[in-house]
Chains A and B, each alone.
Chain A
Amino acid sequence: MGAEIISGILQRLDLSAFMISSVPETADTGQIFRHLAQNKINIEFINQLSLKNGYSNVLLCVDESNRYSASTELEKLKSIIHAREIVQLQKVGMLSIFPHKEQAFVISIIIRSLTAEGISVLAMGNSLSSVSCLIDEEKIPDAIQCLSNEFNLS
């Protein structure tokens, strides 16, 4: 398989991630987005997935400058939405590879190349034109190098 051609890699630094785990599917997870919006906190990345046991996990990222206020709001909501746990990850970075053209290879190349370098992918999600992955911010330079070698940048 030849190198997949992509146009570029975007990086986003200074993010904090929150994993809100095991929220019952009957709970209104929209409250999370409402409370953060009311506090003028932009959410840079969301990954909400239903699990097989009637629960959902919501992983979201905000700018590091909003970490404290986001944490305060989410802790207020924890019992309201019956989340089992909220885990905070500081200093997370996001890399977006574009375009993905809906190709499965792009996803496998990203995961394979990063894990081969010992870089753990915390989460991934797609947008219309890009695939974004969250990793430890310290690993961003290595990850860019690794992905640049792996993909054929046009």
Chain B
Amino acid sequence: MKRLKIYDILYNENLCRIKLTIKSSSFLVALFDKLGKVDIKVKFFAFHQDVNEILQITFCIEKSELKTAQKILTEMPLKEKDIQIDPKIGMVAIYGPHFAEKPGIIDMMHRAVSSQGINILAISTTVSTSFFIIHSSDVVRAVNCLNETFEIPRGKV
């Protein structure tokens, strides 16, 4: 079967994931202001209001920046139960030209990754990119199966 052409596959094996459950967006503003002040880069970010108007937030940063982020989090008015940190997280992403108009790309990516028995921890898809957050130990397998599923220009990955 002809593989769908995309621009590239991106990956990162050295992330950590921070999950928060909070009630107020002002907390989120204060947190990201503080992360910005120490120049912590946000590699993945997704949040939504759930049906009870609680904010469910997941973001990923480089593992090397976790200690600084943890220090900031401890200064915030957060309950221990509302925060979860996973230090061994990775990310795979695809981006390409057809994402806005071609149905089924996310399905192809999801099927490829989950066919390897890889647990998908979070997804953010918007504009031209699909990010999957997975365990860092699964990143190499995920990249290999995405290379078999999609066609990317020679010399990439």
Q: What is the interface of chain A, defined by CB distance below 8 A to chain B?
A: 10, 19, 21, 28-30, 33-34, 36-37, 40-52, 57, 59, 85, 87, 94, 96, 98, 100, 102-105, 107-108, 111-112, 115, 120-132
Contact = CB atoms under 8 A, between A and B. Distances in A.
A96 B50 CA distance: 21
A89 to B, nearest CB: 10
Nearest to A115: B25
Contacts of B100: 42, 44
Contact of A104 (B36, B46, B49, B110): B36
A127 B42 contact: no
Given A19-B51, A30-B107, A45-B126, A108 B41 contact: no
Contact of B102 (A36, A42, A57): A42
Interface of B: 10, 19, 21, 25-26, 28-33, 35-36, 40-51, 56-58, 81, 84, 93, 95, 100-104, 106-107, 110-111, 114, 120-131
Most chain B beta-carbon contacts within 10 A, residue among A115, A120, A121, A124: A124
28 contacts: A30-B114, A33-B107, A33-B110, A34-B107, A42-B100, A47-B123, A48-B123, A50-B58, A50-B122, A52-B19, A52-B21, A102-B43, A104-B33, A107-B28, A108-B33, A111-B32, A115-B26, A120-B49, A121-B25, A122-B48, A123-B46, A123-B48, A123-B49, A125-B124, A127-B129, A128-B10, A129-B129, A132-B126
Nearest to B84: A52
Chain B interface, >50% SS class: mixed
Given A42-B101, A122-B48, A124-B47, A103 B41 contact: yes
Contacts of B45: 107, 124-126, 131
A90 B45 CA distance: 24
Contact of B122 (A49, A98, A107, A111): A49
A112 B29 CA distance: 6
A68 B40 CA distance: 42
B56 A19 contact: no
